[in-house]
Amino acid sequence: MHTKLRYFSRFLFIGLMALAVSCVSQKHNNNAMKAERLTSFSFDHHNSMAMFHGEKYNVTTMKDGRVHVVIDEGFPTEKEFYLNDTAIFDELLDIVKTFETDKYEREYKPKFTIYDGDSWSLYYKYDSQRHVSSGGYMAWPKNYGEVRQALTDYFRKWREYQNGVLAMDYFKFTFKNHQGSDKEYTLERGAEEATMTLRDAELGIDKTLKVSNDNLQKLQEVANTVKLKDKVYDYVTDDENATRCTYFVRYNTGDTISGITCHTQYPSHKVTGILDFFSKWLNNQ
């Protein structure tokens, strides 16, 4: 009788211990899952044969707690802004969970050599420091097309986002070449309105105009093609016949971009984009 009782007590003790360990482990896992949140997210789909590369979305947490968002779908539609709310990470986490991208392989490769094709990358990190990194060239997971479409659809609403957008307080651009072009465009934004001084020696224009919100937004989209991270860009030459232009932008955040660029033959596409914008604007005046 005593022997049976001892065996029963031993089994009961072992069972209770196993149950306790299981409960603690389950509670720990549940708490870990609940606590785990995204702190950064990036997705890039690049087509080397397209005029514009594709889509690139980047969301990161800054040291001051704000969220920095960059939406780049090709010139001139890049958009960069800051958010005070981290809810965007919760919404991106829903997409991650829905399509189970945590299960993606590290790298996807085609069976045969392919040139000038599409490449892609996906990276995100949790506050637990766990991260997922995946990508490929002309090869992808079965549900990749759905994930890409879901992200494109999701960021559509942010493309229209206005609050917190990097706004230009001041903009100045000059352009001069040996063929007679001599242009200077200066934007100043006050508390109530923005004004633009346009001077074009070739067209005989020298005047100051009020800037509509529509034109202000279009100009900012063009100006934003020069990244904030670039800060200063230079291409200098001693050639007297070189095209010369200066560029300066100050944003409402205090960030500035300035520089001088010279090229003996063709301006960069960023400079060309600014010139095209003002050419169309002046033709409509």
d(CA 22, CA 25): 5
CA-closest candidate to residue 91, choices 144, 156, 31, 29 = 156
**159 or 163, greater pLDDT:** 159
The three-state secondary structure class of 5 is helix
pLDDT at 31: 46
CA distance 179 to 202: 10
Average pLDDT over residues 23-36: 52
d(CA 106, CA 135): 7
Report the CATH architecture of 168-283: 2-Layer Sandwich (3.30)
Do 38-159 and 168-283 show the same overall fold? Answer: yes
pLDDT band at 271 (very low <50, low <70, confident <90, very high): confident
CATH fold, domain 38-159, is Mago nashi protein (3.30.1560)
How do the domains of the chain map onto residue ranges?
38-159, 168-283
**Rounded to an integer, what distance in angstroms lies between the CA atom of residue 32 and that of residue 9?**
34
Contact 38, 93 (CB under 8 A): yes
- List, for residues 89-123, the tens digit of each pLDDT value: 999 999 999 999 999 999 999 888 877 788 999 99
CA distances from 146 to 46, 107, 149, 186 (A): 16, 18, 5, 45
pLDDT of residue 277: 80
Report pTM: 0.51
Q: In the chain, where do the E strands start and end?
A: 38-47, 54-61, 67-72, 79-83, 118-126, 131-137, 168-176, 182-189, 194-200, 205-210, 232-235, 243-251, 256-263
